[in-house]
Amino acid sequence: MTILIAHRGASGYAPEHTLCSVALAYGLGADFIEQDIVLSRDNHPIVLHDIYLDQVTNVAEVYEDRKRSDGHWYARDFLLAELKQLRVHERGLEDNSGPIYPKRFPYKKGKFEIPTLQEEIDLIKGLNQSTGKNVGIYPEIKRPAWHRQEGADITQFVLQVLIKNNYRTEADNIYLQCFDSLELKRVKAKFNSALPLIQLIGKNSWRESADDYDKMVLEAGCKEIANYAVGIGPSLDLLYATSSINNSVIPTSLANYARKYDLKMHPFTFRKDSFPLVFESYAEMIAWFTTELKIDGFFTDFIDITKKLVEVSKC
Ligand code: CA
């Protein structure tokens, strides 16, 4: 079975990580809904993609004088009650001159707030009860080493919430993801967790962790990942290349190593409004990943369209 993971909720249609976006993703047929998690000053796991508040909230207006010397407003500097005063909006460019995706939800419109992890779980489990479906959660521990520098063990707080809500094993319909390999190993070794872990693989330039992703994509890297994780979540461009013979799209060695070491592949991010030009259309891209690469899951901003294309590709 191929799973459809709602990347930051139905973020192609509503501001990312808002409860509205989660409910919409649920209604559009997501199998799993993703939560990126950072900590508030009072150690509440909240659902927010960046450690900064800058690009998705009105923090600059509400707490004008509380940015750090680097010019960023950090979620970690605010109590949950203070974060709840903020309005969330469609993601803006770094200089806040406008939205990243102008055709998505209108920039700086709507009334949305930052949810806690618990609030999102309550919503998803509530909908599971009322619909009889069983949609899963897919939390990501964000920047654990940075949180430690800030004096907080984010993993401990996230796991507390997950355990309290009876998320313990793969049977509970959850994957736990992180870019930091040391932290995933720690989830197993220190916390004795049986949660299925996904090793995210990005680019070294993103500085998501101290890991060397150039090495992680090699055979030894994948063999090592198989010791602690059930799968990988690579940036999707790490999985294809173009053939020097006829320019056709071909799998990279990472895809082959993932198969060899029995690692699930859940690449990110499939966006119908932003996809690599080696594919002629979004439909062609989804077809290639479904039939040629046979990936196990799609992280997508557009659950409904992607799901339909996956189904069509399999026919
Ligand atoms: Ca994420």
Secondary structure (DSSP) of 95-120: T-SSBSSTTSSPTT-S---PPBHHHH
Instruction: Give residue 315's pLDDT.
Output: 87
| Average pLDDT of span 269-291 | 97
Instruction: Give residue 235's pLDDT.
Output: 98
Structure-token match 């602690």, residue found: 228
Instruction: Give residue 55's pLDDT.
Output: 98
Instruction: Give residue 244's pLDDT.
Output: 87
| Average pLDDT of span 32-54 | 98
| Average pLDDT of span 40-58 | 98
| Average pLDDT of span 157-178 | 98
Residues 6+ apart with CB under 8 A from 258: 222, 231, 232, 264, 265
Instruction: Give residue 259's pLDDT.
Output: 97
Q: Which of 17, 44, 49, 147 is the catalytic position?
A: 49
How many whole angstroms from 7 Cα to the centroid of ligand 1?
7
Tell me if residue 307 falls in helix, strand or coil: helix
How many whole angstroms from 299 Cα to the centroid of ligand 1?
9
CATH superfamily of 3-53+117-314: Phosphatidylinositol (PI) phosphodiesterase (3.20.20.190)
Average confidence score pLDDT of the chain: 97
Phi-psi region of 246 (alpha: psi -120 to 50; beta: other; left: phi over 0): alpha
pTM over 0.75: yes
How many whole angstroms from 245 Cα to the centroid of ligand 1?
35
Q: Which of 7, 17, 44, 147 is the catalytic position?
A: 7
Evaluate if residue 164 carries a pLDDT over 90.
yes
Tell me if residue 36 falls in helix, strand or coil: strand
Q: pLDDT confidence of 96, banded at 50, 70, 90?
A: confident
Q: Six-digit token pair at 305?
A: 């369209």
| Average pLDDT of span 8-14 | 98
| Average pLDDT of span 15-42 | 98
Burial class from Cβ neighbours inside 10 Å (0-12, 13-18, 19+) for residue 95 reads exposed
How many whole angstroms from 101 Cα to the centroid of ligand 1?
18
Instruction: Give residue 181's pLDDT.
Output: 98
Q: b/e map of 185-221 (b: 16 or more CB within 10 Å)?
A: bbbeeeeebebbbbbbbbeeeeebbebebeebbeeeb
How many whole angstroms from 50 Cα to the centroid of ligand 1?
9
How many whole angstroms from 181 Cα to the centroid of ligand 1?
15
| Average pLDDT of span 11-36 | 98
How many whole angstroms from 268 Cα to the centroid of ligand 1?
9
Q: Six-digit token pair at 127?
A: 């909908």
Instruction: Decide if 266 is catalytic.
Output: no
Instruction: Decide if 7 is catalytic.
Output: yes
| Average pLDDT of span 116-134 | 98
CA 217/CA 275 separation, integer angstroms = 22
Q: Which of 2-6, 259-263, 274-278, 285-289 has the lowest mean pLDDT?
A: 274-278
How many whole angstroms from 195 Cα to the centroid of ligand 1?
17
CA 96/CA 73 separation, integer angstroms = 13
**Residue from 269, 311, 275 nearest 291 by CA:** 311
Q: Six-digit token pair at 44?
A: 């509440």
Q: Considering the chain, what percentage of its residues have pLDDT values greater than 90?
A: 97
Instruction: Give residue 247's pLDDT.
Output: 86
